[in-house]
Amino acid sequence: MLLSFGMMLKIINIILIIEIFALFSFLFYLRYKAYKAKEETDRWIKKVEEERKRNGENRKV
């Protein structure tokens, strides 16, 4: 059974909307992942600075 041209356009439109939603979801996931990695890096730098202060090394990282 052949679909009418308008029906095919509606189906393509729905598929494009789903793909755009998936793309934005993936981009927000990457942004969240980068935010978590930055938090981890900042926490690690703070830990290293505290260890250096305890060991008597007063220079910056």
Angle, CA 59 vertex, CA 36 and CA 48 arms, to 5°: 35
23 domain residue, yes or no? no
pLDDT band of 56, cuts 50, 70, 90: confident
Number of domains in the chain: 1
Task: Kindly state whether residue 10 falls inside one of the protein's structural domains.
Answer: no
Q: Which domain holds residue 50?
A: 28-56
Separation between Cα atoms, residue 16 and residue 19, nearest integer Å: 5
- Report pLDDT digits (tens) over 18-53: 999 999 999 999 999 999 999 999 999 999 988 888
Would you say residue 15 lies in a domain? no
Residue 8 belongs to some domain of the structure? no
Does 59 have pLDDT greater than 70? no
**φ, ψ at 60 (rounded to 5°):** -80, 155
18 domain-assigned: no
**Which band of pLDDT confidence, cut at 50, 70 and 90, is reported for residue 61?**
low
DSSP 61: -
